Amino acid sequence: MKILYLLFAVFLLLFQATSGSADPLYADTVECRSQGKFCRVGACPPTFTATGTCHGGLMNCCSK
């Protein structure tokens, strides 16, 4: 019976999801983040301006 606990733990480790970003890689998102900017839903904060789009045009790319 003790081996079942060990097997269960091994199976949990084997079938664990990979870590990393769950966001699909959109070309506009990669470009925005590579330039040091960030993506935001809706309007950018008051001291930032929208310079493009992210996530296929669904979000704004904000920069100083």
Q: What is the per-residue pLDDT across 8-25, written as a single tens digit (0 to 9) for each?
A: 888 777 777 655 555 567
Cα–Cα distance between 21 and 12 in angstroms, integer?
Answer: 21
Cα–Cα distance between 49 and 59 in angstroms, integer?
Answer: 13
**Tens digits of per-residue pLDDT, 22-37?**
556 789 999 999 999 9
Cα–Cα distance between 58 and 14 in angstroms, integer?
Answer: 35
Tell me if the pTM is above 0.85: no
With left for phi above 0 and alpha for psi between -120 and 50, is residue 28 left, alpha or beta? alpha
24-63 in CATH: which number?
3.10.360
Please report, for residues 17, 27, 46, the alpha-carbon distance to residue 64 in angstroms, rounded to integers and kept in the order given: 36, 21, 10
List the domain boundaries for the chain.
24-63
